Structures are given as structure tokens and as C-alpha cells.
Chain A
Amino acid sequence: MGTNGKLSLTIDGKEVLAEEGMTILEAAKENGIHIPTLCHHPALSNWGGCRICVVEVDGSPRLAASCVTPVRAGMNVVTSNEKIIESRRTILEFLFAERNHNCMFCPQSGDCELQNLAYELQMDHLTVSFSFNEFPVDVTNEYMVLDHNRCILCGRCIRACQEIAGAHVLNFQNRGPQALVGFDLNEPRESSTCAECGVCMQVCPTGALYNRYRTHHAVKGHAKERETIPSFCPQCGLLCPTVSFVGENTLLKVEGELTGSDGRPDRGQLCHKGRFEVFKSGGKRLERPMILEKNGDWAAAGWEEAVKMASERLTSIREKAGAGALFGLTSSAVSNEELAFFRDLLVEGFGAGYVDTLDGRHFRTVTGAWKGIGEELKEASWKWIPDSDFVLIIGAEPRKSHPLASLLIRKSMKERGTKAAIVGETESVYPFISAYLPVKDAAQPFLIQGLLGEAAARLGNPGAAPTRVDIPKMMGRIGLDGDAEKIFHEVVEAFVTSENPLIIVGEQLIGLKDGSALKDTFKLALLRGLLPENTSRVIVLKPYGNSAGAWKLGIPSDNGPPEKAQWRGGLILLNGEDPLKAPVLGEVKGMDFVAVITPYFPHMPADGAQLLIPKPAWTEQDGTFASLDGNETAYKRKILSGPEGVKEGWQTLWALSDGIGYRPKFKGWDELSSKVKW
């Protein structure tokens, strides 16, 4: 035994120390000795399949795979000699000869570990003849392709699917040369239970799994010429850490932080939104300010001209028709900085009578529902999901709105036996969801009332429920048959007997104007007590990426729009949404002047706005975003440069302030940013 609880061994003639339980590969790496690997991945379990990392141990003719061989005191390891190199090269040639590794046609060329290894081992020709077998290509998915012709069966994708995603969708099929990676019981991707998280693709060392939105992305240059930018995904509030790869101001790929995921329960997973949707266009880019002409056409304008026009027209509405005639509306998908500045400018600068967010109503329903029963409570974090043994999903569709949360639920179901039940209609139901009560929005209140009543009764606390519902009658009323009643009772049973239940509510429920069903849901959750730190057992899935930030900053209006709003004009800040879909606004047609600051041509009738001012897309801007539960924030870095000449959102707001003589409460971006952090 060596010193300090370490043991000593010899690697390539050098005596080194290593911790017990380490593999030879780890010990070598720690001592700066490089051993090539292929099936090994630091975020995955050790596999020992490809045998590229073989080394000689104690002179034995039988070589050991260093990635799986534990160190032993006194071990003598040689990582490179003629025999080892010969073996590695032959194994590599075997891999190249096995399937159709034609780098020329491979969308991953230039960003491929197999290719790099061939360069490293100086494989300039093959002594093993090609097999020229034809393997299937699965192109059924819109994001990813699985091309078995480029697969080296290293099993990384399978391990990632099992160990990181916990999805257990991928596994090996068949034996010998027929072995393939397959989805479920050899289904095509689209009919399988795969949730397209793409972690398989991220760990794939070759072009077997590649992103259809960015094929051949590395052809022009190798990895070293790319910029890697660590950041966060702001799209849903789970604030998943990302690493973005950018070359020539083009986003090449987005990866999850598999090795540095900081103990997050997702282990650095991403969902299809964070990994793939970012590559999709958000709409027609707005590159210059546009003014609506009399004939209904848009005419390009200069930025100063546009800012001047907006300042003047909005001021004039307020001056002519009073504060009540002017509104401000913002998306909740923009950064805290933009939100705060927008509110200040509208309220204090322009003196607008009404400022709200696109998800204002959701905000008011949620706060209203908590009123009197738990205003002081914190919302549960999504990070609680793996600790829960029963997840009740009501009026939510996490698979669509917060995919990673849904992936975590699935992982718990598969690995821990967690049960999950869904109340409300949803498009995607995992086959292994234990209970599903598909009720329409309007019917939910009755059902939830029923759940609350039964659960309260089962828990010996009937007082907690206002009324005890006649269940068979209620079921009949909401149009569910007898089988559903059994399921209903199973859900109640699971909820009251589980050790650590969680309730997830989403847009279908919090989007209702009437908050009573939500209130009953909160009451239901409270029946099972609180989580530590005064935290409720409810996760509220909010509509926009930074809803929690907007809500915590108090941007949405507390009271909602007045009964008969007399709006003549206003300013809208968007991230590409359709503002008319927000329940607040209703109709903008016929107003005197509406200006929209947006990265894309907005989804609204042309005469709904008179002025469009461009801003960068979210990938092109820095900014702070809040987590779903509002308890954390993250500073998202800018990944790409926006179109030339397009000012950032805050710069436009700043210019508007200048235009009307309003003095912002900060001197520049850094101060603004530091002010909104909490």
C-alpha cells in the first residue's frame, strides 16, 4: 500500500499513486498518461466493450481493458508498445471494416471520435477488408437519425438512455454481426417510447446518431475552431445548463452538461426543446424597424426614427386620453432585466394605466387560489420529482411544456417504481402511467372536488374538504364510465398512501379564470402536509420560460384588465409569441398606436400595430432568468450575434426613455442586471 490511503503502481515505468477502486484509465489520466478510448464516456458506467484502451498488465500476453480494470498495488502497466498499438489498430480496423464508415458522406465528419482515433493511430489504409453490409437507417424522427451503418455498437447511447435519461428505450438487439441498437423491442423510433431527449446522440462517438438540423456541421473545420459557450436553456424554467457549440456565428450543436451537472437530478440531460427546437426558426426575422403606411404596407425605417415615433405617439396618447388609454404588455419569456426595465418605463416613464404579461391571467389564478390557504408557501421545485413516489398530474402536459420534468417522472417510474396519474386530457400518455382520467377542462373542478373530498375522508380529515361529492354521480356528470370510477379510487388510494406525493398542475388548470378548482388542488396537496422549508407539494408548470421571474418581479397586473378598457395604444415586448392569444388583450385593431418590440414579425394582423422595432432572439441576448419555482436564477449568456444594426431590447427601451426624458434607475447593462438578481 502506498501513502495517504493511496496505492502505488507503475505505469509506463513511472511509479504513480492512485486511489483504490480507480481504473487503470483513471489513474493514467490523473498522471497525464493518455490512453485512447471509444466506448468509454466519463458520464457513463464503465463498459469495456470496444477494447481500444487495452494495456499490458504485469507482462501478461492477455491485454486488459484499462477502462474497466481496477488498479492494484504493485501493478505494472504498460500503455503503449508495439503489440498494444498493433492490437488497437487492428481493433480499429475491425470497426472501420465492419460497417460503412465513409467519412466523406458522414454528417458528423470532423466531429467524430472514431475519425479522430483513426488519425491518432495513423490508420492510413485498411488491412481488413470491408464487409459492405447494408444496415437500416431510421429517419422516422424529425430531430435525429439513427444510421446503423455508422454504428460501432459501443453502447454509449444505450447506457445514456438507461443511466442518464432513465428511459431504458434503447438496447442491443440480435447477436453477433447482426447486433443493432434498437428502440424498445426493435420498433422504429417514432412508434417507440423514446422521448427524443437526444442524450444518446450527444454521447454517440460517431455519426450513427446525428442532428438532422445540423448535418455536416463540422465539415469546414474541426472542433478546435469552434467556440464552446456554457449557458442555460431559458425555454421552460428548468434552467438546464447547456454547452453551445458555435462556428461562424452559427449554432452547431447544443449539449447537456453531462459531467458537470452539479448534482441536478437530470444528470445534465436536455429535452428536445433545448437540444433541437433551438435550431428551428422562430418566424420571419425582423431586421429593421417597420412603419405601417396608410396603404397597409410596411415600410422600413431607421431606428432613431422609429424610437422617436414611438416616444411621441405613446406620449401623445397618454397626454390626450389619459393613463387609462395606454397599456404595456410583455412576454414572460424575456429576461428579468427586460421585464423590470419595461415595467419601469411604462409605469413611470409613459405613465401607462395598465401593464401586464401575456400570462397575467395564470398569475392571478394561481395567486388567487393560494389566497387564504398558503400565500406564504413556496412552490415545490421540479427537483423533488425523483424523491416522490406518487406524482399526480392535473391539467398539465409536462411532456409538451416542461419535457424534462416529464422525463424525470418517467425515470422515477421505471427505476423507482414511482406511480404517476394524469387528470385532464393530454396528448402523450406513457404506456406505463398507472392511472389516466381524461377529463375536459370544464369538468375538472368536479373531479378535483371529488378527489379532495375522498382524500380528506380517507385521511380522517373531512373538514378539509368543503363538500363530499357523490362520486358515481359526479363521474356520470363528467362523462366517465364505471371503469374510470375504479381508476379514480386508485388515484385517491395512491395519493393518500404514498410516502411523498407531488402534484403537478399546468396550463389547463391555471389557465382557467375561475381558480376554485386550483384552490381545491392546493387544498388536496396540503392534506399531505408540506415539504421542508415551508414548501407546498405543488409544482406549477407556468406557460413561459421566465414566467416565474415575471411573477416574482410583480410584472403581471394584480387585478387584471378593467372591465371596459379604454386603451388607445400601447407598447408590446415579445419573444416571438402571438400577443392576441393572451387573454388580456383581446383586440388591438383600431387603436391609435401600438408599437411592438420583437425579434420576428409578430403573429397579429398588420393593422394591429403601427410600428415594429426589432430586437435580438433569445440566443442573441444576455439576461437573467428565474427557475420554475422562482427560487433560483441563472444568467444566460448570449450564444450568437444578432442581425447587424438590431439593438438589444433594453437598448430600445433606453432610447425610448431618452425620447421621453425618463431617467432609468441604472446607468448601464451591468447595473440593470445586478439589480434584478435575487
Chain B
Amino acid sequence: MPKLKVEDLYRIKGEVLRSSVLETGKNNVRITVHMGTCGISSGADKVFQALNEERDACGRKDIIVTTSGCAGICNREPLITIEKAGEEPVRYAEVDQEKMRQIFQGHVLKGEINPEWVYARGWEQKEMEFDGPPAPVMDHTSHIRQIPFFGMQEPVVMRNRGLIQAERIEEYIGRDGYFGAAKALFQMSSDEIIKEVRVSGIRGRGGAGFPTGMKWDFASKSRGEIKYVLCNADEGDPGAFMDRCVLESDPHAVLEGMIIAAKAIGSRQGYIYCRAEYPLAVKMLNLAIEKARNHGLLGKDILGSGFDFDVEVYRGAGAFVCGEETALMTSIEGKRGMPRPRPPFPAIQGLWKKPTILNNVETLANIPQIIVKGGKWYAGMGTLRSKGTKVFALTGDVRNVGLVEVPMGISLGTIIFDIGGGIQSGKKFKAVQLGGPSGGCVPVTHLNTPVDYESISQLGAIVGSGGMIVMDEDKCVVDVARFFMDFCKDESCGKCTPCRVGTQKMLEILTRICEGKGKEGDIEKLEKWADIIKNTALCGLGQTAPNPVLSTLRYFREEYEAHIREGRCPAVVCPAFFKTPCMHACPIEMDIPSYLALIKANRLEDAYRVLLKTNPLPSTCGRVCDHKCETKCRRATLDEAVGIKTLKRFITDNASRPPVERQPVTRKEKIAVIGGGPSGLTAARDLALRGYAVTVFDEYHEAGGMLRWGIPAYRLPREVLKQEIEDIFNLGVEFRGNTRVGSDVPWKEIQNTYDAAYVAIGAQRSAGARVEGEDLEGVTGAVEFLRELNLGKTPAVGERVAVIGGGNSAVDSSRCARRLGAKEVTILYRRLKEDMPAQDEEIQAAEEEGIRMEFLATPLRFVGSNGRLQSILCQRMTLGEFDESGRKKPVPRLGDEFSLDVDQVILAIGQEPVFSFDMEDAGVELTRRGLIAIQKGKKTATTSPMVFAGGDVVTGPDTVVGAIAAGHRAAEEIDQAIREKNGEAPYVPVDEKIDIPMILEEEVREIPRVCQLESDCGERVKDFREVELGFTYEEALREAGRCLRCDIEAE
């Protein structure tokens, strides 16, 4: 192989470019299989084999089959690209052998494209724009740059992604490869190279972000005959894989960067320290080195410039610490890879005590282009202090998993939601771990943060090597911190005490917190040790090991506290806290697996008794609960969550209700419950069961609160609710309806007659829209509208109704309006459908009933004449930055307004409490939001010793089950306070023993969830009959059988 000269580079480039253009009749088709390690692990090698077999079978020599590296989007592998002469390239994703054969037979041989299989058309690289018309069948297929995942990226390091075959040096040269090296060797002095790199502003991409130009400058000025250029390819962060991708698919870019670095500092020998776990990367590197040597691009007299430089690959054994520069050097020296103290810095005394620079793969891969295009070009991207682009490895619970190269300074939310497509499961985004185990997590409140070195470090995380692990709401931060600490503990080299022992000791604490054995003071200990470890550890590994703990503590301290103080894992992850995830997710910890098992055993009466243990209103909940249990059901990881809510309803619909006996009053204390909603009723029941005399006050003639006056009958039939409430009163609870405390009974009287009062008055008034025209006739609040309806009156309903808001009240109002005869009902919501707080099944039902929904719209003004509403002037909204909830904030699209003719507006944008007596008189403090304030560490105790409060009046509008939970807590705290005052022993609850069958399915197969029947859409909007029809016996059996019985401990 003759050694190349500079002019040969131009020649080869020309040849490659010519040959890459497909010519009809000569080389009609080129099919590229993307075969990085990621692709191969998804089966790309088998696809490649199948493709070759097909090609060989058809005997066409004009079909070129080739390979390339990773195409960037991991969750869609294997990917292939088909180019035909004169046609726009087409990409297929998730190809398997069979699909490959069909694509070959169809697309390649017959020109028949199955559009359903096509992922995208065209090239990602802008300079590769296809000139001709798009393929005819491709009309409805996106160009790859129209897919946000690709379109929003700025490939610099990844510029050859999917384009070149790493094994062929010519293809690299064809993409301007080694032109940077040629320029550096022939046209630039060492100082000029360093200057260019300094101008580019590039900072070390390996993690620390040290300015590369400055590093080179030090080494260049350091005296010594022998100097080394090292490439750190010991990528070890969990969740980072960009270096591997570069090494596998574009290894020459790294070699070229090293040649330029060598010239800059005056080095003749380089080493690439690559982890042995990357066999393909090592293979590609060695192949690239061999080719480069053969072509005179490495070794003696490179390109005839007289400059000598050679590179060797040193395989690391996979110790995380060997990514630390001094440990890496010690390892190359043949010793145990342990860090050494600095100073001396490597630029002065590095490998074998010679001046050395160490750069990360990504840094080096940037260098050739900085030299070719100039530092200014590079500095034109990114922010003031963080220049250029950065590759991020986007993984975790995000929809699009893969490598993402973006300009520095782009917001975190853009990467996760726009490029990454948001959370995979449709759940809520919780946090993102940046920079692997040395980094930290960033919570939802900081999604607008620009991703640059400074901004990210201010949040307590680091850009690091670019690992981005996205976590949804199902991740427990303590568990995450424990995971990373476990990693650091295992990977500590053992040299310095703080790292070796400190990580171990911090892990012990984190583990015990996760195991439910956390102690008061543990958090403070973690903080103290983290501080000491950070400040006394020898190397970066130890100094950064506490970061995940510190950052999770910074943003999620309450989650740690919940583990330690409340015995709760809010994310329902740490198994020590619960029997099953569904139970832990349920605010009242209903014994779900037990009643499901009892359905299977056809013991419905027993199942009913299980329900009543924790839930006084099971039939109600079986209809209107927001079923948090189902969101944590483990079955969902297999197919779909078990339909727990409907199964609960099935029990109450089909079993006879257990008889209720009047409870004897055994205690002298009397309790007043103010507000007969679910919370008050629950507290009343619990207290009655404990032997107290309880009186429930309510301003209406019937109890039930929002269940009675808010929720429409088609969701919760009146009889169902009435029976459950009657059961409670039958225990001996006194109900005083039509009695407003304050006006009908003075507060003083309550104070004098009762020993404690539970205030559970809810939030009974709709919040205003603060929009002009709110006082027009025809504008009404949702709560008021629904209450009037449920009081049996016939509220006025217009022909054209608009409901403002996106919660359950909005949907209820709209569906009621429809039933009351409105011709056209429109929900106006300022965000998107997926942001609506209402339950998905309610939204769906509303849509089925013909409710229109206008998203990204908000009322500007209610327009009327003669005091009567006529239309709404609406503002179109657009989504701006992320708000604290992780949703994009709607902002007005100025000038984009529209008018909606309506004769009624129902405002469902919030609810607030109405106090019938003076809280100040009662000694109860309110919060700034006008809700009742609860004492720290308590759940229901207010600032007044005799007053307890719970439900919506404390939390703002919340769920039924939340209100029931508050009722339980109130009863507990009231009883506890009384007993403490009396010096009595705490109450011991009587637990009714119900034998639960312990039967496990032998084999778990995928079975879809059973859907309950709903009444006909056209019929149901005519009246208020129940919509959901519940399960049949067979359906219930089948659905209950899907329970995985997480409560049974496997042996």
C-alpha cells in the first residue's frame, strides 16, 4: 500500500463521491444495515444475513449491500436505509429477518413500498439533501428531519452517523476525513493549532469540562522530549454510550483528532484506553489504526509531512475509576489502576512521568472539524461559556432512546420532551439524572434550564459525559440514590478512605431507608458525610460520589422523610413499605389482592367485608375513584393494569351488604363532624366504631357532600350512595341536616357541647375566571351548576354551552349540559388534551357523547348584550416554557383570537372553600391560599386543640379517596388526642380475620384487560342513568384472575 500524500486525499475523496452516486443500470440500489453494537443486539446481524441471502438468491450484482454504524435512535433498531438510483433514500425501522425479506422483494425488486413500515425518508445530514422529487408513495411519510428526534439535532461529532462504513478509510476521507490533519501538519504551527482550539472554546467532553485548548497549551509548554497523547475511551457511566458509538462507527475521527493533538503538543506516541467491554469498538479502532498506518496516516512521516505519530489501543479491564485520568495512566503503565494525587498534573508529569494530555473520545472527534472549519465556526454554536454541540445519551423512561447531539444551551425540557418525545408510559416526568453516578438529578421544576456546564452545575448536577437518564413518577429517588451509591461503592478503587468507606457507609444508610429502617438523623448524617467525602476524597470518583444523594436530597427531601417518618415510599418502589404496590398507592391502603382473590374464590360476601375494613363507601369508590392503585399495578409491565375499580364495584353490586349493627356509645366524649361529605362520613363512622357519640352537621338535607351534589347521577346513582350513607348512620351516628354551623348553630355551642370537631366542609364555590363579563347572565360556576341539578332543580341550560376548564368538574358539567338538552357543548381548555387533569375515561366518554373540545384556548372576554351572554372572545394559546408541573405553560398567541357564540358558560377552573363560621374565632389559622392550615407533623390537627380538619378544605379540590383517607386520619388523631389527654392507652383496632386464598397461577400469559360495558352513546345522553355497567360474573372472574398476587411472597 503506497503511503498517501495530501493530493491523494483529494483524489480519494473525488473517487468516493463519484462512486457513492448511484447510476441506473450500473449500481441501481444500495442497502445499508446499521450495525453498531446497539443494532446488532437488536438483531441487525441477522437482518444483514437475510439481506445478503436475498440478494444472492436474486443474483443481481447491481444491488450493493453495505453496513454502517449506529443510526442514533436505539429503540427503533434494527434500522436499514435503502437508496435507489434517482430516488430519495428510505429508512425502515424495527426490521427483522422476515420484514427484511419482504422489503427486499417488494421495495427493492418490485418498487413496492409498504408505507406502514417506513420510518422516514431522506438523509439526516443537511448537506446530503436529495435533489429529485420524493418517492411518490412517500407523500405521507416524514422526511427524517421532520421527525423532531432528528430534526432538532445538530450533528457535528455524529456528522457521519449512518453514512459511512467504519471499516473503509476511503469513506471517511470522502467525508473530508484527514483534511484537518493535513491542514494541521502542513499549514499550521503548534501554536496556531492550540490557538484555533482555544478560539473554538471547546471544553472536555469527558465530564470535567476543562478547556481543551488550555490543556494542550500546558502540555505544549511543558518541557520534555517524550510526550503522550491519550484518548480516554473508558466510557463507564451507566447510561452513557456516545463514545462507543463514535469509536464503532467513526474511529478515524478520533485518530485524526489525536494526530492534530500530537502535532499541537509535540508528541510521537498516543494510546487509546478503551474498555474491553467494547469489543466492536476495539476491533474497529485496531482496524482503523492498521488502515491509517498502511496509508501513511499514522506512523513515520505522516502524509509526507515529516511528522511521526503512532497510536496503540490499550484495553482496560472495566474499572470505572480508570476513566479518571491519573488512574488511567497508572493502568497503562501496567500497574493497578488507582489514581495518584495531583499536582503534578499530567501536562507536566503524566504517563511514565512524561508530559501528557488526555482527551475524551468526543472531544477528539470534534477537533478535525474545528481545524477544517475554524474555531470561530465551532464557537458560533452553543452559549457564551459552553461552546459547540454536545452528544447526550438519552435513556430511561423517555419515549425516544438514543444519542442526541444538540448545541449547548438548549433547554433540558426540549431534549426530553421535544427530541425525546416525553415519558414513554404517558406517566409524569419526575427527574433526569445527568452525568451518571457523578452527576445529580434535576427535577421537573427546572426543565427550562439551558444545558450548559454552568447552569447544570448550579442545579447540583453535572453535564458530565452526557448521560441523561430520564425518570418517570414511578422512580423512587432514595432508591435511585442508593443505586448510584452502590455503583460508586463497588467501583471505588479502595485507595482513599472517604471514598472506600464513606460510600459504603452512605450506602448502608440509603439501604436501610429503602428497607424501612431509616432513623431520625439519617438525612443529616448523609449530608455531613457527603460534605466530608466531597472535600477529602482523592480523585473525582470519590469527590463526586455523593452528588446523587445531595441532589435528590436537595429536590426530594420530603421523599426521604416520607420513608423515614411516615413509613411510606411515595413512588411505591421500595418493597419494604408495602405488601403490594396497588395497596401502597391507595391512600387508604385497601387490601386489593385479598378482595380480588375472594372474587376468584366466589366469596363475594367476604370480599365485601374486606372492602369495608378500610373503605366506608366502597360501592361509590367502585364507580368514581381515580384508582391510583391501577397506576402502580405490576401487571401493567406485562400487559395492562388490572381493572381494580370495576372489580370493587362488582363486589358491591353482587354481594349482599353485610348487616350493620348499632354501635354502643362507650365513651363520654362527644364529637361534632361539620360537613357530611366523604371525609366527614368516614371520620364519623370510625369514631362511632370507637365508641364515641358523633353528630354530623350538614347544610343540606341529605349527606354526601360533593358525592351527592357534585357528581352526576350517571356516574354515581343516588341509591348506591344513599345506602352506603345509611349504613354509616345506622351505626348510631346522628345526622343534623339543614344545619349550617355558624348561622343555624353558633360555633360557641359546638365548642361547649363537643370535645372535638372535625371540619370537613370541602370547597363549595367555583373560582372565578377573572375575565370581563363574568357577571353576565348565563355565566355560572360548575359547582353551582351541578349542585342545582343534583338538588333536583332544573338549572337553565343554553343551546350552545361552553365549559371552561379541564378537570373532572368541567367534563361532568359538559356531559350534564348535554343531557339537559344543550345542542352544542364545547370544552375550552388552555392546554392540550394530554394535560387535562380529568380522568381519561371521562374525557373519552365525553367525546363519545359529542362534546367538542377546543384546546389551547382561553376566554378573553364574555360578550353579551343587555346583560345576557352572547359569545366568548377566546385567545388562542401556544405552549411556551415548562412550568413547575412539567407541562408546557400556555402563553397567548397575540393577535390570534376567535369568537365562540354561546348562550351559557360554565366555569370549571377551580374551587374554593366557603366558611360558614369565623375560623379566627375558632382559633383556626388559614393558609395563604385560604385553606385550613394543619400543624407540622400532623395530618388533621389545626392550630386549635379541639378542631381537626381534612378533605378539600385542607387540600383544595381532591379525590374522593383522598377525602376518605383524611377522614380516617382525623378519627385517629381525634381519638389519640383525647386518649392522650386522659392518659389512656392508645386504641387497638379490632381486626376481623378473613381467610384469604393463597393460590398463584402457574403460568402468567398476556391477557388484555376486560372492559366493562357502557350504555349506548346515543341513548345515554337522554337521561341520567348510569353509563358504566360493571362486569358480568364471567368478566369479573377473568379480570380478577389477572391479578399477579404480589402479596404472596415467592418462595
Contacts and interface: CB of A to CB of B under 8 A. Distances in A.
Interface of A: 46-52, 54, 61-63, 65, 68-70, 86-87, 90-91, 94-95, 97-98, 127-129, 131, 152-153, 155, 171-172, 174-177, 179
A176 B341 contact: no
Most buried by B among A54, A86, A87, A94: A94
Contact of B504 (A48, A63, A98, A127): A98
Nearest to A162: B335
Contact of A91 (B493, B494, B498): B498
Contact of B501 (A65, A70, A94): A94
Contact of B497 (A49, A70, A129, A171): A49
A176 B543 contact: no
A130 to B, nearest CB: 10
Nearest to A176: B492
25 contacts: A48-B340, A48-B538, A49-B495, A50-B496, A50-B497, A51-B498, A51-B538, A61-B535, A68-B341, A69-B341, A69-B343, A91-B498, A95-B497, A95-B501, A97-B505, A98-B500, A98-B501, A131-B508, A153-B500, A175-B494, A176-B492, A176-B500, A177-B489, A179-B492, A179-B500
Interface stretch (B132-140, B525-533, B944-952): B525-533
A176 B336 CA distance: 13
Most buried by B among A49, A62, A127, A155: A49
Contacts of B525: 127
Interface of B is mostly: helix
B519 to A, nearest CB: 10
Contact of A174 (B494, B532, B537): B494
Contacts, number: 99
B193 interface: no
Interface string B470-497: 0000000000000000000111111111
A49 B501 contact: no
Q: What interface size band does chain B fall in?
A: 20 to 34
B319 A175 contact: yes
Most buried by A among B343, B504, B508: B504
Contact of B490 (A69, A86, A176): A176
Contacts of B492: 175-177, 179
A94 B341 contact: no
Interface in B742-765: none
B935 interface: no
A176 B489 contact: yes
Interface string B376-388: 0000000000000
B538 A176 contact: no
A63 B503 CA distance: 18
Contacts of A68: 341
B495 A131 contact: no
Contacts of A46: 341
B583 to A, nearest CB: 32
Given A48-B496, A175-B494, A87 B535 contact: yes
Contacts of A47: 495
Contacts of B338: 172
Most buried by B among A46, A47, A51, A97: A51
Interface of B: 319, 321, 336, 338, 340-341, 343, 489-498, 500-505, 508, 525, 528-529, 532, 534-538, 543
Given A128-B505, A177-B501, 20 more contacts: A51-B496, A51-B497, A51-B498, A62-B543, A63-B536, A65-B341, A87-B536, A94-B502, A94-B505, A98-B500, A153-B500, A155-B495, A175-B319, A175-B321, A175-B490, A176-B492, A176-B503, A177-B489, A177-B492, A177-B500
A466 B501 CA distance: 69
A48 B497 contact: no
Contacts of A175: 319, 321, 490-494
Contacts of A98: 500-501, 504
Nearest to B525: A127
B508 A176 contact: no
A86 B532 contact: yes
A226 B489 CA distance: 42
Given A65-B341, A131-B504, A153-B500, A91 B536 contact: yes
B291 to A, nearest CB: 36
B533 to A, nearest CB: 9
Contacts of A179: 492-494, 500
A339 to B, nearest CB: 50
Contacts of B491: 175-176
Given A127-B525, A129-B508, A172-B336, A97 B538 contact: no
Enumerate the 4 nearest inter-chain pairs by beta-carbon distance, A residue then B residue, closest first.
A179-B494, A94-B501, A68-B341, A48-B341
A171 B336 CA distance: 8
Contacts of B529: 90
Contact of B528 (A50, A52, A90): A90
A513 B191 CA distance: 76
Contacts of B536: 51, 54, 63, 87, 91
Nearest to A56: B535
A562 to B, nearest CB: 63
A152 B503 CA distance: 15
Nearest to B502: A94
Nearest to B487: A176
Given A95-B497, A175-B490, A62 B535 contact: yes
Contacts of A50: 496-497
A61 B500 CA distance: 21
A129 B537 CA distance: 20
A54 B533 CA distance: 12
